[in-house]
């Protein structure tokens, strides 16, 4: 079987893990880009709800109600500048949830050899 060398522009996709890094209240969370469904700028909550006594925002997108949760288990008291919407699935069930963000960087790459990669990816596979 004959194999061609991949172009440099594609080869880099296999050597690095692309990340979306969000900053919320001075703390950072890194999420694999493959798990990010959307990044919403200037979001508006359709309503608020409570879970375990913590206030969270809810955004209605089509048929989906997306809960927006504080990644550090706090309350969502105000409207954030961004929402990073994350997709998750279990068997054949699909869902969405969001994290608030003051800043979002969606151009972060980490070498696949970096020791943090398995830890970052584990929660999203």
Residue the block writes with tokens 């288990």:
73
pTM of the model: 0.83
Query: For the chain, which residues make up each domain, given as ranges?
Result: 17-122
pLDDT tens-place string over residues 47-56: 999 988 999 9
User: What does the pLDDT average to over 20-36?
Assistant: 93
Per-residue pLDDT at 68 exceeds 90:
yes
Q: What is the DSSP string of 34-57?
A: GGEEEEEES---SEEEEETTEEEE
Look at the block and give the residue holding tokens 């690095």.
Answer: 16
Confidence category of residue 17, pLDDT binned at 50, 70, 90: confident
Residue 3 pLDDT greater than 50, yes or no: no
* Dihedral sign (CA 87, 88, 91, 94): negative
């Amino acid at each position: 079987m004959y194999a061609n060398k991949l172009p440099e522009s594609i080869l880099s996709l296999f050597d690095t893990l692309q990340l979306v890094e969000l900053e919320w209240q001075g703390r950072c969370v890194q999420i694999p880009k493959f798990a990010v469904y959307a990044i919403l700028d200037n979001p508006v909550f359709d309503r608020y709800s409570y879970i375990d006594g913590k206030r969270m925002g809810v955004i209605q997108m089509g048929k989906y109600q997306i809960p927006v949760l504080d990644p550090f288990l706090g309350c969502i008291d105000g409207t954030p500048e961004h929402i990073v919407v994350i997709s998750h699935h279990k068997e054949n069930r699909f869902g969405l949830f969001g994290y608030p963000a003051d800043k979002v960087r969606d151009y972060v790459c980490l070498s696949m050899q970096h020791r943090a990669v398995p830890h970052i990816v584990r929660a999203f596979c």
